[in-house]
Structure 1
Amino acid sequence: MLEILSVAAIRGDHLLFEDLSFAVASGEAIALTGRNGAGKTTLLRMIAGLVPLASGRVLWAGEDAMADLNAYHARLAYLGHQDAVKPGLTVTENLSTWAAGRRAEREAGIEAALEQVDLLDLADIPARMLSAGQKRRLAIARLCLRPAALWLLDEPVTGLDTASVLLFGDMIARHRAQGGIVIAATHQDLPMPGGRSVRLS
């Protein structure tokens, strides 16, 4: 269970939001919606412990998530709105570099991750040759490698075609079926049946 309690965010002298509270249980999904600049990305980064809270608390299983960031970060995977793909490396090398030193990710299998995002046929080509949608799918493949209970996703389907969105929906469904939690900032409809929406004004 993840709980967001009376959280506020300030950018410069501007209050983005305040007194924001919601909870997400195992297997649930939340779509963060709202206009550009409403604070969706900031909220995701706050939940991830990457940006300090102006006020409020984030609880994981009833405990302050920020009290032990190393333990908390081990439970989450963060997909930013930028793909963070290294163009000079092959598709496989990109995942290998990201998983370096992470035994669990290597054991999960880079090949299986690429198969889930339909990039296995492109495993050995340089990432600079990928289309924008393929680069996004490569970024998404990192989620398959990380055994994290909490997925924090920033505009995850930007640049994806319909077939790729459906593949991503299957990944989300499997994650939720295993008790995983998804929180996604989005301007687009996401394939998260039964998910809830939290709107930032």
Structure 2
Amino acid sequence: MSESVVLQVEGLCFSYPECGVLEQWSAALPAGLALALGDESSGKTTLLRLLAGELTAQAGRITLQGTNPGEDPKAYAQKVFWVDPRSGDLDTLTASGLLDSLSVRYPLWDAAALDAHIEGFALHEHLHKPLYALSTGTKRKVFMAGALASNAPLTLIDEPVGGLDKPSIRYLAQALASQATRSDRLIVVAHYETLVDVPWGSVVDLVRR
């Protein structure tokens, strides 16, 4: 794997019983920002779950900075940030409780960056609330504040603007842009369109099935 490549995916195959999703899918992504672009049911979320190690591919290989999820899942998991914004598994936690738990999980956690994202996403008044009590947009903002502060070498963000107000969308674009020149981190965002003012280094088109 080239030194400039953070994430190498080779021949990835995955299908659900009712349909195929990825067939011999490969990519070599450098550090910076990558957009996984596709329509509804194109496999965007499935791809992120595979990259996170939450799903296991039927074939293929994923290598992140020399680590493979099949060979060393614990080491791989420490390098990846992924929270499914649609899941309710964490809903009993307060927003601050979730963020506190993430700070322990990720060794490169940036507390100063978290403070900036809490301010930028206007989350202060929501930190004491359980996640189940938050709106869809606010819950997403909590997850993205944690994602951006995690400093995880591979950070996965799914459908980032769902439920967000315009100031939060603008802040998100600024926060992502600030990570574009990182040489030690890859942020993969899955969305159905490009986001204005985000300097994507890589764009991966997922064909609608």
Q: Tell me the TM-score range normalised by the shorter chain.
A: 0.7 to 0.9
TM-score (norm 2): 0.79
Q: CA RMSD in A?
A: 2.9
Once the two structures are TM-superposed, the CA of residue 51 in structure 1 deviates from its matched residue by 0.8
Other-structure match for 1:3: 8
Letter in 1 for 2:70: M
Q: Which runs of 5+ in 1 are unaligned?
A: none
Once the two structures are TM-superposed, the CA of residue 48 in structure 1 deviates from its matched residue by 1.2
Aligned match for 1:152, one of 151, 156, 173: 156
Aligned match for 2:180, one of 176, 187, 201: 176
| 1:189 and 2:185 are equivalent in the alignment | no
| 1:79 and 2:83 are equivalent in the alignment | yes
Q: 1:46 to 1:126 in 2, by over 3 A?
A: closer
Once the two structures are TM-superposed, the CA of residue 124 in structure 1 deviates from its matched residue by 4.1
Share of identical aligned residues, percent?
25
Other-structure match for 2:63: 59
Q: 1:72 to 1:14 in 2, by over 3 A?
A: same
CA contact (8 A) 2:159 2:189 kept: yes
Q: Which runs of 5+ in 2 are unaligned?
A: 1-5
CA contact (8 A) 2:102 2:150 kept: no
Distance of 1:7 and 1:51 partners within structure 2: 12
CA contact (8 A) 1:84 1:139 kept: no
Once the two structures are TM-superposed, the CA of residue 9 in structure 1 deviates from its matched residue by 0.9
CA contact (8 A) 2:108 2:152 kept: no
CA contact (8 A) 1:92 1:110 kept: no
Q: 1:75 to 1:171 in 2, by over 3 A?
A: same
Q: Which moved more, 1:155-164 or 1:179-188?
A: 179-188
Once the two structures are TM-superposed, the CA of residue 109 in structure 1 deviates from its matched residue by 7.1
Other-structure match for 2:3: none
Instruction: Say which SS state the counterpart of residue 76 (structure 2) adopts.
Output: helix
CA contact (8 A) 1:83 1:136 kept: no
Once the two structures are TM-superposed, the CA of residue 59 in structure 1 deviates from its matched residue by 1.6
Report the number of matched residues.
200
